[in-house]
Amino acid sequence: MKQVVVIIACLLLAACGPGDPEAGKRVAEASALAAYPEVPKPGDVPALQAAGKPIFKAAGCETCHSSSHERNGLMGPPLGGVAEAVLAQHKGDPLEARRWMVKHIRDPQRFPGQHAGTDDYRGSAMPPNGMLKDADLRALVEFLWHLP
Ligand code: HEC
């Protein structure tokens, strides 16, 4: 009996424990769907952008990314106009492109972007973010999405 319990515990740990290499991927994918069940209606965008701007700062993104086209000596690529490249990577699908941005913010190593394999990637030096709520990610991504 004891052995059975031990075996079941080991199986559970393997499936959902901290050692599960797929766990981070599933969290990121679930966040992408929760944050973006659909593309926001144009009328909702200004409020989302306004909510996302302070999150960009509070979540530490600004320490590595500018929100313009100038790199300003920061480690990460500038994010001005980032939507254009992300859209192109997702066959012009605005929903999948936004969902990818959520996944990239949650787990940059598992969801690498256009800089994978370049000097900008560095394996990636961008830290995963498990702290932001899905609703915050929606606002943050809308802020980034509409950066000119
Ligand atoms: C320690 C530095 C660092 C921090 C902090 C950081 N990033 Fe990054 N980020 C990078 C680097 C380096 C890359 C390029 C490599 C890659 O794509 O992973 C990148 C890539 C990106 C990209 C993809 C850009 C593209 O052109 O494909 C987005 C979007 C992004 N970061 C958003 C964010 C957001 C939002 C935050 C805050 C939650 C953040 N980053 C925090 C370093 C950082």
Residue 4 falls within a domain, yes or no?
Answer: no
91 Cα to the center of ligand 1, angstroms:
21
CATH number of the domain enclosing 57 = 1.10.760
Residue 2 falls within a domain, yes or no?
Answer: no
Residue 120 falls within a domain, yes or no?
Answer: yes
The tens place of each residue's pLDDT in the chain, 148 residues long, gives 555 444 444 444 444 445 677 888 899 999 999 999 999 999 999 999 999 999 999 999 999 999 999 999 998 999 999 999 999 999 999 999 999 999 999 999 889 888 877 776 666 788 899 999 999 999 999 999 999 9
pLDDT value at residue 3: 54
Q: Where are the alpha helices (DSSP H) in 17-133?
A: 23-35, 45-58, 82-89, 94-106
The span from the CA of 81 to the CA of 62, in Å, is: 16
114 Cα to the center of ligand 1, angstroms:
11
Per-residue tokens: 20: 């599960």
Do residues 124 and 27 touch, judged by C-beta distance below 8 A? Answer: no
The span from the CA of 102 to the CA of 96, in Å, is: 10
Residue 138 falls within a domain, yes or no?
Answer: yes
Residue 87 falls within a domain, yes or no?
Answer: yes
Structural domain tally of the chain?
1
140 Cα to the center of ligand 1, angstroms:
13
Do residues 138 and 36 touch, judged by C-beta distance below 8 A? Answer: yes
Determine whether the shortest distance from the Cβ of 140 to ligand 1 is under 6 A: yes
Residue 131's domain comprises: 23-145
Closest CA to 110 of 100, 118, 120: 100
Residue 8 falls within a domain, yes or no?
Answer: no
Termini Cα distance of the chain: 64
User: What is the sign of the dihedral through the CA atoms of 87, 91, 95 and 100?
Assistant: negative
Residue 79 falls within a domain, yes or no?
Answer: yes
